[in-house]
Amino acid sequence: MLTHTTQTEADKAVAEAKAKLDTTYRLGYHIMAPANWINDPNGLIHYKDEYHVFYQHHPYDENWGPMHWGHVKSKDLVHWEHLPIALAPTEDYERDGCFSGSAVDDDGVLTLIYTGNIFIDKEKDILDQSQCIATSTDGIHFEKHPQNPVIPMHPEDGSGHFRDPKVWKHEGNWYMVLGTRKGDIGKAILYKSADLKAWQYLGVLGESDGTEGYMWECPDFFELDGEHVLLFSPQGIKPEGDRYQNLFQTGYVTGSFDYETNTFERGDFQELDHGHDFYAVQTLLDDKGRRIAIGWMDMWESAMPTKEHGWAGALTLPRVLTRMEDGRIKMEPVEELTALRSKRFDLNLSTIEDTEIVTNVTEELLEVEVEFSLRDVTAEAFGIKLRRSEDGEQETVIRFSTKTQQLSLDRTKSGVGVDGVRTVEVEGEDDVLSLRLFLDRSSVEVFANGGTTVMTSRIYPDPTSLGLSFYAEGGRVDIKSCRVWSLSDVWNEQ
């Protein structure tokens, strides 16, 4: 195991690995590490007019290992610049990794709050985790605080699984929410500080009722449109029909929080994304007042064919969170992503009846906006096929069943190493089902009805499978509008 390596050594290893990459499935406009492994987004912040995103990174291998913090920044949430590795596990209190955390602007000082990890017994999953800080005045180079760890030990309510601090400021004080477990009960716990160094334990913010998982990872707590939201990634929720089909989930509960009593009255857990590959979401509040979320676009113990190519993992597109009238949260792509649009394809589609219409679009990077009319529809199902091969042996299928009112993302024929269908019930709005799709070389993100339902999945089709088609089964469906754009490959343009 590689430990106590410097950021400079890690950056050199990444540069060497980058030169050897197979780029077949490298994404065109998503955040990735230059090479090797990436998982959770960390430290999302809008700092000095730039968006910073850090991420869990193993710079020495395409598999998970001793975690470092990779780093990118952007002025527009579209064009990202790779920066030097921000954190490496150089100290004894973090000898097995600098685990996930967050970032704050402390009077102009960019401060990272992260988990120092030590494995007591890796095979038995026994950990000793603590909370640490590192600071920067230039937003690039970080110094770890000499008093680290600033929270050296978990409280009685938790255990050695004690990680992923998310910090925010309220009325002059800093607050921190962390994930932990006690036995098989996942929890989010709360701390308070005046200076980011001395922390007071306030108690349990929320915990599993016995059905919501044995560990709550990557908690995030914020106010959204007048209500408080606790995002987290619970481990150990059992599948229920079409729900909770991934190994681990990411979702939220909403409710009211009282800063005087530190009590959170919450509702039921709801999944945030219904695709195959979405985990460890984190948010930032930008200078425009938007709550922007980014997640890890992969899933633990899932197929990752690109490991053979020298890399693994990516992050989702940035998404704006909004609370709806019924209390649910919707996610929409940030408006800046329209800058990716290149060539527009005008598809004169009006009615599809019991057939498949293959278009002349053959692009790897696409955005598709389509409105299907649900008025007078007779088709049993309809939808879109992406990355379709000429012989139909490969395709990723987006399908809406008019009988069950369910939207599915089917990747059983999506290429190397992936399979499975994810399904979610969707209600049309004003007799319309609207879909907005972002297709990259090895990912698809589906936003239905303005982001009220979202599905994110990785796919690995043959590079020659480039077809785009629209279809209806057992009847007809009318298309009110359909717009398609090829998208820029921003990484290759740098």
Give me the active site residues, please. 40
Q: Taking a C-beta distance cutoff of 8 angstroms, is the pair 246, 456 a contact? A: no
Cα–Cα distance between 360 and 350 in angstroms, integer?
A: 16
Distances (CA, A) of 487 to 38, 57, 108, 420, 493: 24, 27, 36, 27, 12
Q: Are 125 and 119 a contacting pair, CB within 8 Å? A: no
- Nearest in space to 190 (alpha carbons), one of 179, 200, 202, 198: 202
Tell me the three state secondary structure of residue 242. coil
Q: Is 367 helix (H, G, I), strand (E, B) or coil?
A: strand
| SS3 label, residue 305 | helix
406 closest CA partner among 444, 378, 380: 380
Closest CA to 69 of 111, 41, 34, 32: 41
Question: Does residue 30 contact residue 49 with C-beta atoms inside 8 Å?
Answer: no
Phi, psi of 163 (to 5 degrees): -155, 175
Element (H, E) at 59: none
What whole-number distance in Å separates Cα of residue 369 and Cα of residue 450? 11
E strand intervals along 356-475: 356-362, 366-373, 381-388, 395-401, 406-413, 421-425, 432-440, 443-448, 453-458, 467-473
Spatial neighbors of 346 by CB under 8 A, at least 6 apart, are: 483
CA gap 65, 86 in Å, rounded: 17
For 463, the 3-state DSSP assignment is coil
Residue 123, CA atoms < 13 Å, CB-side half-sphere: 0
Strand duo 395-401 + 341-346: pairing: unpaired
- What is the residue type of 290? R
